[in-house]
Amino acid sequence: MLELFLDKYNYWIVVVLMMIGLYIVIARGNLVKKIVGLNVFQTSVFMFYISLGKAEGGTAPILTGKPELFSNPLPHVLILTAIVVGIATTALGLALVVRIRESYDTIEEDELEGMDNAVVTTERARLGTGDAA
């Protein structure tokens, strides 16, 4: 049991962190908070990737001329790309939040839905009278 824990504890903690991030995204109604949650979720996924590239007793994958044991550089490369993609998504998401705030004057999901549903109701009402006429 202890051995299983020592073998896997890193992955398990990272999984829990991922879950917290994902929970923030889907449970919180504030649009900025959702983006923060997305960041936490993605950063945890990055840790998961990097964890699987770790070599016990290894060093950073930079050649020094001596024969050495390196940690796996490929996940590092993939995650560098993923970090960049993540910041790009954050920037765009926040820009959308700013625009939403400007046109709705709120960034709470339930209030936004309420306002949109009100529009739908009035549209339907208008269409209803259109039918009668």
Partner 1 sequence: MIAVDHLPVLQVVGPLIAAPICSLLRARNLAWFFTLLVSIGAFLCSIYLLNTVLETGPISYAIGGWAAPLGIEYRVDASNGFVLLIISGISSVVLPFAKRSFELEVPENQHSLLYTAYILCLTGLLGITATADAFNVFVFLEVSSLSTYVLVAAGAKQDRRALTAAYNYLILGTIGATFFVIGVGLLYMATGTLNMADLAARVGPIGGSRTLDVGFAFIVIGLALKLALFPLHNWLPNAYTYAPSAVTAFLAATATKAAVYLLLRFCFTIFGSGSGFLAPMVGLVCMPLALAGMFAGSLAAIYQYNLKRMLAYSSVAQIGYMVLGISFLSITGLMATTLHLFNHALMKGALFMALGCVFFRVRSVNINDLSGIARQMPWTMAAFVISGLSLIGVPLTVGFISKWYLISAALEQEAWVLIALILASSLLAVIYIWRVIEVAYLKDPIPGRTVTEAPLSMLLPTWALVIANIYFGVDASLTTRVARMAAEGLVGVAQ
Partner 2 sequence: MRHHLILRVVSKLLIPFILLYALYVQFHGDFGPGGGFQAGVIFAAAFVLYALIFGVQAARRAFPDSWLAILIPLGVLIFAGTGIASLLLGGTFLDYDVLASTPTGGQHLGILVVEFGVGVTVTAVMIAIFFAYAGRTHEIQDDDW
Partner 3 sequence: MMESGIINILVDISLMTLLGITAIGIVRSRNLFATAMLSGIYSLISAAVFVTLDAVDVAFTEAAVGAGISTVLMLGAMTLTRRSEKHAIKLHIGPLFVTIGIGAALIYGTVDMPPFGSTDAPGFQHIVPEYIAGSRDDIQVPNIVTSILASYRGFDTLGETAVIFAAGIGVLFLLGRRREDEEADESSNSGKGEDA
Considering only residues 27 to 56 of the shown chain, the ones binding partner 1 according to CB under 8 A are 31, 34, 38, 41-42, 45, 48-49, 52
Of the candidate residues 92, 121, 122, 125, the single one contacting partner 1 (CB under 8 A): 92
**Whole-number Å distance between alpha carbons of 90 and 22:** 15
With 0-12 CB in 10 A as exposed, 13-18 as middle and 19+ as buried, what is 79? buried
If one asks whether residue 77 binds partner 3 (CB under 8 A), the answer comes out as yes
Burial class (CB in 10 A: 0-12, 13-18, 19+), 110: exposed
3 state SS of 70: strand
Q: In 3-state terms, what secondary structure has residue 59?
A: strand
Beta bridge mates, 108: 30
Q: Which of 1, 2, 81, 112 binds partner 3 (CB under 8 A)?
A: 81
Which residues, 100 to 119, sit near partner 1 by CB under 8 A? 100, 103-104, 112, 116, 119
Decide if 68 contacts 78 (C-beta within 8 A). Answer: no
| Contact positions with partner 3 (CB under 8 A) in 15-44 | 15-24, 26-33, 35-37, 39-40, 43-44
**Residue with Cβ nearer partner 2 (52 or 98):** 98
User: Which residues from 35-94 bind partner 2, rule CB under 8 A?
Assistant: 60, 62, 80, 84, 91, 94
Binding positions for partner 2, rule: CB under 8 A: 60, 62, 80, 84, 91, 94-95, 98, 102
